[in-house]
């Protein structure tokens, strides 16, 4: 079911049982898999590939236990040229996915996220809201990017990375502080980041480390708690 | 395709390509997204929201390598008023989701689970069978709740939590012992719990900790293995 | 929509809104859930169960930030007799799933993977490409199996396992080395494995351990870094 208001470019391939909502715009040479749902206002560039059962333009939900309510009015989801999105992904309104980004199967990206040019969001990666991801960033499979996090260009995050932003764990009057990963830093698999941690440029965090303090530029840390390697 | 035996309340919104099986009951003002499948006997209250591609009422499966076979005959899945369920979720027969619960995208809940009023099951959270989750509990994104676990009211679990119940790792004659998280305890992100661990009321477990022993009421533990903070 | 070239055995049950591509072969007594998509050339044995919204035969994708490009020409996905596949799974071309394997909901298996007879791939498990998994292996919920890994018969991997294969984290000229888990080894939940680690026969790795060195046959290790238990 494709709404009458949808604008579709030339040479667009649309699968079976696809639903496209009001005012969606789709560029040229786009490929849309079976069972895809594109919610209203989403804007899709040229040569974008959207695989089967993916949902674009999700509106945030909340219940009364949520300390931090999501934004109510969001701009449209913008997907730029040459983006490839896997199967069974869920991407929210108000986010921007820049040119050439690759998003793996079963990944989800919340609202108000910016993903820079040519970055990779791996399979089963969960990205929370209000996060800024730079260019040529790799976030590997099953990693977790918390809200209000900042990931600069050329950062490499191994699989199963875990971050947090909430020092007081769900209590009231609690300002969320996402970690900051500076340019070119590299994070090993299954590392754990506490709220507000800053990782310096080209710094390296070993696999399985628990990072409780800032790491300066170029430093290598490992362990629980993570300490500088001699 | 909606079976003739289905009972549907007033003002129910049903998306495209939805399949609803025998004897399903749906309350008033319910919203069902595109490509949702609701299996037989499922009972859904008023004002429930079910997002796209979610599957409700899954029957457990097994193969011959499984030491602990799932139950064969299960009661229907019950979803109470004002529950909101995200996209691409899989929820099994025999579970009960109480009023006001929020379930994130790509989450799954196995059979014989009780989720108490107003709790949050985050995106990509996996809850195993025979688990009891209290009221106003928050389980954040990508956490793993093992079978036979008990989580009391007002517990907060950060993202990427990992729990286990199987001391002898898949060997025969092995009684499963899920951890117990007592009222108001708070668990940091990517913490690891061994089988049968009891966390006391209002106790706090730091991010990345590996909890190998019980933690008494109000205690704060961190590290691998987790030890009391002075 | 079922392509004319598809060969279907007797007593096959096919759900609503299923799409089956060119030259797919399906055995006898197979059950295919609603919204399933089976891509071209996939070959499915007898008594296979494929649950709702699962996608079989996915072709790998890449972008320019990817250091290791996926293979371009792949053989068909082969699914042998009595395999059961959960809901919302994504399984790639070029893999082989042997008799009696159980795959949980929301799991994904990349290309060129072999899963041996009667093994279990748990819910939300991600298996990367070119991995060899033996017989009677259990990989529990939300675990991550990296590329070029080898898992021998009767291995038990607890939930939230994390492995890696890339010592230099995304840099060029970097040969990937997946860990090797020898016969009957047992890995606790949320353990972290560095690239190329070899775990000996019947060895045991404790929950939450960070394994930085090889573990010899029958040894038990725990901690960060993991050390032999006395």
CA–CA separation, B78 and A137 (whole Å): 43
**Pairwise CB contact (< 8 Å): C88 & A88:** yes
Residue B22 tokens, joined: 């025998």
Decide if A98 touches C, using CB distance below 8 A: no
Report the pLDDT value the prediction gives residue A205, as an integer from 0 to 100: 98
For the stretch A81-130, pLDDT in tens is 999 999 999 999 999 999 999 999 999 999 999 999 999 999 999 999 99
Count chain A–chain B contacts defined by CB atoms under 8 A. 124
Q: Tens of pLDDT along chain C (230 residues)? A: 999 999 999 999 999 999 999 999 999 999 999 999 999 999 999 999 999 999 999 999 999 888 777 877 899 999 999 999 999 999 999 999 999 999 999 999 999 999 999 999 999 999 999 999 999 999 999 999 999 999 999 999 999 999 999 888 877 667 899 999 999 999 999 999 999 999 999 999 999 999 999 999 999 999 999 999 97
Mean of pLDDT over chain A = 96
Report the pLDDT value the prediction gives residue B108, as an integer from 0 to 100: 98
Query: Å from C132 to nearest chain B CA?
Result: 18
**Pairwise CB contact (< 8 Å): B53 & C35:** yes
Q: Is the peptide bond before A188 cis (omega within 30 degrees of 0)?
A: no
Residues whose CB falls within 8 Å of the CB of residue B72, separated by 6 or more in sequence, listed in order: none
Mean of pLDDT over chain B = 96
pLDDT, mean of residues B103-125: 98
CA–CA separation, A53 and C34 (whole Å): 12
Residues whose CB falls within 8 Å of the CB of residue C167, separated by 6 or more in sequence, listed in order: C174, C177, C194, C195, C196
* Partner-chain residue, chosen from A33, A137, A189, that has the shortest CB–CB distance to C192: A189
In chain B, residues with a C-beta closer than 8 Å to the C-beta of C138 are 65, 170
CA–CA separation, A60 and A68 (whole Å): 12
Q: What are phi and psi of C168, to 5 degrees?
A: -105, 15
Report the pLDDT value the prediction gives residue C69, as an integer from 0 to 100: 79
Residue A22 tokens, joined: 């009001």
Query: Å from C150 to nearest chain A CA?
Result: 18
Decide if C207 touches A, using CB distance below 8 A: no
List of chains touching B (3+ CB pairs within 8 A): A, C
Report the pLDDT value the prediction gives residue B171, as an integer from 0 to 100: 75
For the stretch B63-86, pLDDT in tens is 988 877 787 789 999 999 999 999
Domains and CATH numbers, chain B: 1-59+74-99 (2.160.10.10), 142-168+175-230 (2.160.10.10)
In chain A, residues with a C-beta closer than 8 Å to the C-beta of B138 are 65, 170
Assess whether pLDDT exceeds 70 at residue A74: yes
Reading phi first (left if > 0) and then psi (alpha if -120 to 50, else beta), residue A23 is in left
Query: Å from B173 to nearest chain A CA?
Result: 32
Report the pLDDT value the prediction gives residue B65, as an integer from 0 to 100: 86
pLDDT, mean of residues A160-177: 85
CA–CA separation, A51 and A35 (whole Å): 9
CA–CA separation, A204 and A122 (whole Å): 20
Interface test with C, best of A208, A210, A225 (most C CBs within 10 A): A208
- DSSP classification of residue C60: P
CA–CA separation, B181 and A103 (whole Å): 36
In chain A, residues with a C-beta closer than 8 Å to the C-beta of B53 are 35, 37, 53, 55, 88
Nearest to B153 by CA among B210, B114, B108: B114
Decide if A15 touches C, using CB distance below 8 A: yes
For the stretch B6-61, pLDDT in tens is 999 999 999 999 999 999 999 999 999 999 999 999 999 999 999 999 999 999 99
Interface test with C, best of A51, A124, A144 (most C CBs within 10 A): A124
Residues whose CB falls within 8 Å of the CB of residue B226, separated by 6 or more in sequence, listed in order: B205, B206, B209, B210, B211, B212, B213, B215
Interface test with B, best of C17, C208, C229 (most B CBs within 10 A): C208
Q: Which residue of chain C is at minimal alpha-carbon distance from A86?
A: C61
Decide if B189 touches A, using CB distance below 8 A: yes
HEC profile of B212-229: CCCECCCCEEECCCCEEC
Nearest to A23 by CA among A76, A89, A72, A71: A76
Query: Å from B168 to nearest chain C CA?
Result: 9
**Pairwise CB contact (< 8 Å): B105 & A142:** no
Assess whether pLDDT exceeds 80 at residue B172: no
Query: Å from B109 to nearest chain C CA?
Result: 10
Report the pLDDT value the prediction gives residue B58, as an integer from 0 to 100: 97
Q: Which residue of chain A is at minimal alpha-carbon distance from C171?
A: A156
Assess whether pLDDT exceeds 80 at residue A174: no
Write down the ipTM of this complex.
0.97
**Pairwise CB contact (< 8 Å): B51 & A58:** yes
Assess whether pLDDT exceeds 70 at residue A138: yes
HEC profile of C63-128: CCCCCCCCCCCCCCCEECCCCEECCCCEEECCCEECCCCEECCCCEECCCCEECCCCEECCCCEEC
Query: Å from C198 to nearest chain B CA?
Result: 19
Report the pLDDT value the prediction gives residue C173, as an integer from 0 to 100: 62
Distance of CA A28 to the CA centre of its chain: 25
Q: Report whether B107 contacts B142 (CB < 8 A).
A: no
**Pairwise CB contact (< 8 Å): C106 & B128:** no
Pairing of strands B204-205, B220-222: parallel
In chain B, residues with a C-beta closer than 8 Å to the C-beta of A39 are none
Q: Which residue of chain B is at minimal alpha-carbon distance from A64?
A: B118
Neighbours of B224 (CB within 10 A): 27
Question: Computed from CA positions of residues B174, B175, B178, B183, in that sequence, does the dihedral angle turn out positive or negative?
Answer: negative
CA–CA separation, B30 and B49 (whole Å): 6
* Partner-chain residue, chosen from C119, C158, C159, that has the shortest CB–CB distance to B65: C119
**Pairwise CB contact (< 8 Å): C141 & B128:** yes
**Pairwise CB contact (< 8 Å): A169 & B158:** yes
């Amino acid at each position: 079911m494709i709404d009458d208001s949808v604008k579709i470019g030339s040479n667009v391939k649309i699968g079976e049982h696809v639903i496209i909502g009001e005012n969606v715009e789709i560029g040229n040479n786009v490929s849309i898999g079976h069972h895809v749902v594109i919610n209203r206002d989403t804007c899709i560039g040229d040569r974008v590939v959207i695989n089967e059962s993916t949902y674009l333009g999700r509106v945030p939900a909340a219940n009364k236990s949520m300390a931090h309510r999501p934004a109510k009015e969001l701009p449209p989801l913008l997907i730029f040229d040459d983006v490839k999105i896997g199967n069974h992904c869920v991407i929210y309104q108000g986010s921007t996915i820049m040119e050439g980004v690759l998003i793996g199967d079963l990944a989800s990206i919340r609202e108000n996220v910016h993903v820079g040019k040519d970055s990779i969001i791996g399979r089963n990666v969960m990205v929370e809201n209000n996060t800024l991801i730079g260019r040529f960033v790799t976030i590997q499979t099953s990693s977790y990017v918390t809200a209000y996090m900042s990931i600069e260009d050329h950062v490499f995050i191994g699989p199963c990375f875990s971050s947090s932003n909430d020092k007081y764990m769900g209590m009231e009057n609690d300002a969320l502080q996402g970690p900051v990963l500076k340019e070119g830093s590299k994070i090993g698999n299954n590392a754990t980041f506490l709220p507000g941690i800053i990782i310096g440029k080209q710094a390296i965090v070993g696999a399985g480390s628990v990072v409780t303090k800032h790491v300066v530029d170029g430093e290598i840390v490992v362990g629980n708690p993570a300490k500088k390697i001699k």
